[in-house]
Amino acid sequence: MTDQIAPQSAPPSRTPHYVNREPWDPYVSERLTAEQERYYMAGQWRLMWWRFRRHRPAVVSAAFLALMYFSTVISEWIAPYDLHTRHSAYIFAPPQQVHLFHEGRFLGPFVYALKTTRDKETLQRVYTPDTSKPLLLRFFCSGDPYEFWGLIESSFHFVCPPEGGQFFWLGTDRLGRDMFSRIVYAARISLTIGVIGIVLSFTLALILGGLAGYYGGWVDMIVQRLTEIL
């Protein structure tokens, strides 16, 4: 009797390696919308810009400041008179109001001529508008000559006084100079001096701070003391 060899059973199959990816998949528990994904993928500067746009007072202030800085570039065009133009017949003249209608009829932007009288008690000049003489303002016209930024000779202005009259939007000073024109020119100095100061401060701080950090020791001590004094 021959011995029958029982067939050997195959070894049990190994359990396949399985890794659950759910803990690392952000879309398993909650699927983000396109707007949410755009927000989470945005960089720091973009987040700052979005936050700035939501702040209405900041946006309005930035727009106004940008307009003011742009006006400093074209001060000669905005001012109706040159910086040093004097009107000896209109010393301390009051501001002239701009009108659109004369006796119920539309004329466009105009001012009334000023009549000058002398107060018998104080001997001061008294200016009263002559409502019988409307004087039309001129736009995009040729007026007082100037040198644009001290380089180009020109006489172009956005607004010019009427022919045969004067236009003092904010009045005149004790020398008869137009106040609005002088404010426009002065804004160029007042606004640019702040920017120049910031640029100089940043440049000096960058240089001195770099020297103090690179050399250290007594150089750092001197820079720190100078910073405290300044």
- Res 213: pLDDT: 86
Residue type, 173: D
What SS3 state is found at 216? Answer: coil
> What are the backbone dihedrals phi and psi of residue 125, each rounded to the nearest 5 degrees, phi first?
-75, 140
Q: What is the pLDDT of residue 2?
A: 53
Are 177 and 85 in contact by the 8 Å Cβ rule? The answer is yes
pLDDT at 42: 81
Closest residue by Cα to residue 174 from 226, 116, 125, 225: 125
Rounded CA separation 202/209 (Å): 10
Q: Provide the token pair at 15.
A: 């359990």
Q: What is the pLDDT of residue 209?
A: 87
Q: Which pLDDT score is estimated for 38?
A: 80
φ/ψ of residue 115, rounded to 5: -100, 135
**Positive or negative: CA dihedral 12, 14, 15, 16:** negative
**pLDDT at site 215:** 85
pLDDT in tens, the chain (230 residues): 455 555 555 555 666 666 667 666 666 666 667 777 787 788 888 889 989 999 999 999 999 999 999 998 999 999 999 988 999 999 999 999 999 999 889 999 999 999 988 888 888 899 999 888 899 999 999 989 998 888 889 999 999 999 888 999 999 999 999 999 999 999 988 888 888 989 998 998 899 888 888 888 888 888 888 888 87
* pLDDT for 16: 66
pLDDT at residue number 4:
57
- The span from the CA of 15 to the CA of 8, in Å, is 21
Q: How far apart are CA 215 and CA 132, in angstroms?
A: 78
Query: Alpha-carbon distance 180 to 169, whole Å?
Result: 6
